[in-house]
Amino acid sequence: MTEADPLRALVRAMDRLRSPGGCPWDAEQTHESLVGYALEEAYELAEAIETGDRPGLREELGDLLLQVVFHARIATEHPTDPFDVDDVAADLVAKLVRRHPHVFEDAELDGDAHVQWDRLKNAEKQRGSALDGIPLALGALARGQKVLGRAERAGIDARGLASRVDAEDDVAARLLAVLVDAHGRGIDAEAALRGAIRQLEDAVRADEQVARRDPSSDR
């Protein structure tokens, strides 16, 4: 399939897969059944970025885009509140324009761009706390760092927060202290730990190879 507009070709391909006579597996999927795939693709994209895998980056961006198009195609079938990928894109463009008045309007940047984004977002969604909207499904490290970042942009001393936490045990207290330190140094703790675990995996595989060559080796 070749079209002048590859994005439109993707939408058409997904529509054909989902429609009668298409792929049975695609036809039976729901928003709920695809959640795990979206999370998996996001993590695979992160791995491609962190390992400098340029071909992998291109492929994983495509896989993540497929999830967006897939969900948007399913959304067209909703009986009372349907929308499609064009609606998704239109909403996104409108949001980008609203959240960047210093770019798209005759307005001055009011402080830090990230802080301005948060302020406009909280006003739009009528949120009562800077922490509203942080996904509960985030891993503990990522969620903790998100909390620290949101607090800091709200004018709260992130480094002073840990002393007010009554951790259940010594391990939790030390993990929180490391997280606060990483945030203060501008380190993504989740990404740093993923990198360390990849090195641990490499070490395990290296030892496995040695063991296969020499079954009598004691590890």
Residue type, 14: M
Residue 32 has pLDDT above 90, yes or no: yes
How far, in Å, CA of 117 to CA of 212, rounded?
A: 54
Sequence spans of domains, the chain: 6-99, 137-210
Provide the pLDDT for residue 166. 77
The owner of tokens 């959304």 is 75
Residue 210 banded pLDDT, cuts 50, 70, 90? confident
**How far, rounded to the nearest angstrom, does the alpha carbon of residue 203 sit from its chain's CA centroid?**
28
Percent of the chain with pLDDT over 90: 44
**Domain 6-99 of CATH type 3.60.21.10:** no
**How far, rounded to the nearest angstrom, does the alpha carbon of residue 151 sit from its chain's CA centroid?**
20
Provide the pLDDT for residue 67. 97
Least confident of 29-33, 62-66, 119-123: 119-123
Residue 22 has pLDDT above 90, yes or no: yes
Provide the pLDDT for residue 80. 97
